[in-house]
Structure 1
């Protein structure tokens, strides 16, 4: 199964904003978590992401890439906003599709799996004429994971463990919709850690530095001994030799204290 995973917005387009957050950052974090779960736990799943870091990419570039790759499914991750009072989760397929279509059947399967775990009000399964739903040649779904400008939804969205749970809900739905098979022995991942900081700004500076060197990286909030830290990850690999090669790249870029953990 070939999944094209699209974290909405990015780069010069922050998406919705509220409660100190940009939608583009939340979308990317949830999408990465979806990719990581699929890669670690499931067999015969190939994931391509429209972006793996904060960069600008047009809607047409995303759908063209998915179409040319021959994806089996297009999943676009978003958060919502309105006027601070709206709350909840909803997802969309294209407005031209019937309720008996294959795409609608996928939505029927995925939607309840996400609702089971996300602690958000259920705003329902909907249809819209969004570009990524209209211009894709494969079935496509766009999920709106809470309202970033609503204080109650935002309190959940800010929580890394909630984003992990939401990612797992998406994966549970995909696994049912596409009859995905779990690894008999889930892959052991080797994760490159390129710094841990108590300052969020310092972690962002490290991420930006690595990306300027062509190394994909992101900061993940973790709790250690009751304190919040921001840990910079610069790759995760199922093969130790690939992780060691990436570790050398990171160290060659000047991050001498980088190391590998088993995750």
Structure 2
């Protein structure tokens, strides 16, 4: 019998939730929830997932709880990030004060999330297992297992720095999946053997979850980080509107890969466009990138042209072909994300960190 998981991204719409250090809770928890949903649906058997919101919409707290109850969910997980005084930091996980039945679910989610955060930053604080009378827990705990997670504090500089690191949002989503799967006894879908995935025909017939895994493996085989592959796709003009360079091999990146392969006639021997980015895909990607030589800021204050457009697309800046203040700002944001020297100049260090070039 299929298990039902209800994911509740906190806040939304006119309610931003916690804010600080350039981050808004409502945006990050939506990303976490969508990725959690994607992993559960694509990688696990016998599970249905429903979300209180899938976009930037405000939903009343009692409506979230009522929807989960009416759907007859087995597990309700309200996903949040914390906010308080700047000194407050770390991971904590809640159940309702009267809900002893949810204790195991709370522990499973907490252990997975705190463990993931500790691997990123060993100094992260374990704030422990807690109980509270939160409205969404109050409205659900009698009918299902019910947990509210608080992975990190947006308002704490160190926690916020963790949240800005490439891959942290993915790790938080994966940790939620780990805790949910352990709580409900979910089993992973079987994966094909290496021989099965060697042909384009078998790749075409795979489930999406297996395609995502193979896409990641193929990128790593070419010596690139997955974020770098996504930035290459962005630079040549493919569309990754929601998650951009998040390092997560999901539906957007698969679609962008297939679109690129179709546009440049990168195909398998039997003519099928197959979405698995191998040597020919990377060779074609790199051929369609400019040399970037025109971006040496010493030559002139504002370089122009297609070189600049490629960078602008990759850093989500104005696509006007002029390396002005907005583009330099986008490059600085990217440099902070990559933990390299921040100067707004697209030099060799930035080029290598972004694209492995």
TM-score when scaled to structure 1? 0.73
**Aligned residue pair count:** 216
**Structure-1 residue corresponding to 2:104:** 105
Residue 158 (str. 1) matches residue 164 (str. 2):
yes
Give unpaired runs (5+ residues) of structure 1.
208-217, 224-231, 238-242, 245-258
* Cα distance in 1, alignment partners of residues 246 and 4 from structure 2: 31
Q: 1:222 to 1:26 in 2, by over 3 A?
A: closer
Please name the residue that 1:226 is paired with. Answer: none
Tell whether 2:212 aligns with 1:188.
no
Alignment partner, residue 149 of structure 1:
155
45 and 121 in structure 1: CA distance in 2 versus 1, 3 angstrom threshold: same
Distance 1:109 1:75 in 2: 12
Provide the residue aligned with 2:219 in structure 1: none
Match of 1:167 in 2: 173
In 1, distance between residues paired with 2:251 and 2:42?
16
> What are the Cα deviations for residues 199-226 of structure 1, in whole angstroms up to 9, with x where unaligned?
xxxx9xx96xxxxxxxxxx233347xxx
Name 2:116's counterpart in structure 1.
117
User: Residues of 1 paired with 2:9 and 2:29: CA distance?
Assistant: 5
Q: Distance in 1 between matches of 2:246 and 2:108?
A: 32
Q: What is aligned with 2:293?
A: none
SS, match of residue 70 in structure 1 = coil
For the residues of structure 1 that align with 2:109 and 2:208, how far apart are their CA atoms? 27
8 Å CA contact 2:167–2:246 kept in 1: the answer is no
Cα distance in 2 for partners of 1:2, 1:158 equals 31
Q: Deviations over 1:97-142 (max 9, x none)?
A: 3xxx321122122221222111231100000000010001211100
SS in 2 for 1:118: helix
2:244 corresponds in structure 1 to: 220
Alpha-carbon separation, structure 2, partners of 1:125 and 1:51: 26
233 and 17 in structure 1: CA distance in 2 versus 1, 3 angstrom threshold: farther
Greater relative contact order (Cα 8 A, min sep 6): structure 1 or 2?
A: 1
> What CA distance in whole angstroms lies between the structure 1 residues aligned with 2:252 and 2:16?
23
Q: Which 5+ residue runs of structure 2 have no aligned equivalent?
A: 119-123, 193-206, 213-229, 260-272, 278-357
Instruction: Measure, in 1, the Cα distance between the counterparts of 2:159 and 2:70.
Output: 36
Q: Deviations over 1:122-173 (max 9, x none)?
A: 1000000000100012111000111101110001112240111111111111
2:31 aligns with 29
User: Looking at CA atoms only, which structure, 1 or 2, has the larger radius of gyration?
Assistant: 2
Greater strand share, 1 or 2? 1
**Does structure 2 retain, via aligned residues, the 8 Å contact 1:219–1:233?**
no
CA contact (8 A) 1:63 1:135 kept: yes
Question: Runs ≥4 in structure 1, deviation > 4 angstroms?
Answer: 232-237, 259-263
